[in-house]
């Protein structure tokens, strides 16, 4: 899992609530990514950021929001507009000029 931390490990949310998932990296990587993984499935890209104060939507951005105010941090907010948020969320980072992404340990979000 390298120098990427995600918190909390498990998160429970009531319907209608917004929740924020934390992702911090100490690898000095410029690019950061958020993915969603459903049971038995691959990863789908939610948002990504290649530099501070800039980010782009991925394939499934609806119902999610992000910010990138610091290089080390890329928090993901799951809003009440996300219809089916129960999933495993993975954060990753990448150093510019390389192609490999390094992943955090993940946050499992369950909507009650």
Partner 1 sequence: SQQGEEDPQALSIQEGENATMNCSYKTSINNLQWYRQNSGRGLVHLILIRSNEREKHSGRLRVTLDTSKKSSSLLITASRAADTASYFCATDEDRDSSYKLIFGSGTRLLVRP
Distance CA 60, CA 58 (A): 6
Instruction: State which of residues 27, 52, 73, 88 lies at the interface with partner 1 (CB under 8 A).
Output: 88
Decide: is 85 part of the binding site for partner 1 (CB under 8 A). Answer: no
Please say whether the beta carbons of 62 and 82 come within 8 A.
Answer: yes
Residues 13-32 binding partner 1 (CB under 8 A) are 31
Look-up: residue for tokens 């990448």?
94
Round to whole Å and give the CA distance between 42 and 37. 6
The verdict on 45 binding partner 1 (CB under 8 A) reads yes
Q: Which residues contact partner 1 by CB under 8 A?
A: 1, 4, 31, 33, 35, 40-45, 48, 50, 56, 58-59, 88, 90, 92, 94, 99-106, 108
């Amino acid at each position: 899992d390298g120098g990427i931390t995600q918190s909390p490990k498990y998160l429970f949310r009531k319907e209608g609530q917004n929740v924020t998932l934390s992702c911090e990296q100490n690898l000095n990587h410029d690019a950061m990514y958020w993915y969603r993984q459903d049971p038995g499935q691959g990863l789908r890209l939610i948002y990504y950021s290649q530099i501070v104060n800039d980010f782009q939507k991925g394939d499934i951005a609806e119902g999610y929001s992000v910010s990138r105010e610091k290089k080390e941090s890329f928090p993901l907010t799951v809003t009440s507009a996300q219809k089916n948020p129960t999933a495993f969320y993975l954060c990753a980072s990448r150093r510019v000029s390389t192609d490999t992404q390094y992943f955090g340990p993940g946050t499992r979000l369950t909507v009650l």
